[in-house]
Amino acid sequence: MNLPKHIAIIMDGNGRWAKKRGLPRTAGHKAGAETLKKVLTYAQKKGIEVVTLFAFSSENWKRPKEEVQTLMDLFRAYLKEDVKELVKKGIRVSFIGAREKLAPDLREQMNRLESQTADFQGFHVVLAISYGARDDIINAARQLAVKAASGQMTPDDIDETTFAAHLSTTRMPAPDLVIRTSGEERISNFLLWEMAYAELYFTPVLWPDFNETAFDEALESYQKRQRRYGGLENKQKV
């Protein structure tokens, strides 16, 4: 079976899931956190190497203070309880996103988890929190500009390889498959550089309802894709 090595997921639809049930949006986020645990267990069982999850975007700071607070509290609880389980299972955990905007205790937890698991070789889980791809690209450009200005490199040294080396995703393969739940068919500032040749999969399933069957459907769809990277299919003649 031709499995994607790296799956990136835009976990969307928590609010609508709650609304459908007459619950507050926060109930949707809580249910979404439960889904996340199950999906990670399943992805590992399936033999996926890397899963990147879009948990909170650089634009999500615009949401009402109360909702942002609930989400931060959920991350805090998740990092304390559930991520510990991941560590026990030998899973490497890392984070991408503007960490400086997060509370110091959260940042400390994140740094600790990353260093605890940095050498783990198996399954790798990446949480994108306070993440925006444009921010990440601008940061890379700034670092390169500093190096060029100080003479550590010349403008001609800037190519796809050196550029990618300055992104926060530098130590992982590019995503093969990007899944977005909830029926929205957009990227919302997620992994813009990295998904240049990813296969995109959109499902109407709301994130809290995403389950093993929905995951299998995404994998089945991936099996049918022909990845050509701008070239021609192997046996095709001109």
Which chain residues interact with ligand IPE by CB under 6 A? 10-16, 54-57, 60, 71, 182, 184, 186, 188
Nearer to ligand IPE, 123 or 131 (CB): 131
Half-sphere exposure for 41 (CA within 13 Å, toward CB): 11
CB of 114 to Mg ion, least distance (A): 27
- Closest C-alpha to 76, from 50, 49, 108, 34: 108
Cβ closer to ligand IPE: 90 or 183?
183
Task: Say how far apart CA 215 and CA 12 lie, in whole Å.
Answer: 14
By a kind-dependent CB cut-off of 5 to 8 A, residue 48 interacts, out of ligand IPE, Mg ion, none, with none
* CB neighbourhood size of 210 (10 A): 25
Contacts of 119 by beta carbon, 8 Å cutoff, 6+ apart: none
Q: Please identify the residue of the shown chain whose CB is closest to the bound Mg ion.
A: 12
Least gap, CB of 130 to ligand IPE (angstroms): 10
For the chain, give me the number of helices (H) and strands (E)? 8, 6
Count of Cβ atoms closer than 10 Å to residue 236 Cβ = 8
Q: Which of 96, 88, 84 is nearest to 171 (CA)?
A: 96
Residue closest to ligand IPE when measured from CB atoms: 15
Per CB under 5 A, does 54 bind Mg ion? no
C-beta of 54 vs 123, nearer to ligand IPE? 54
Instruction: Give the nearest distance from C-beta 153 to Mg ion in angstroms.
Output: 40
Q: Catalytic residues, which ones?
A: 12, 60
Assess 12 for contact with Mg ion (CB under 5 A). yes
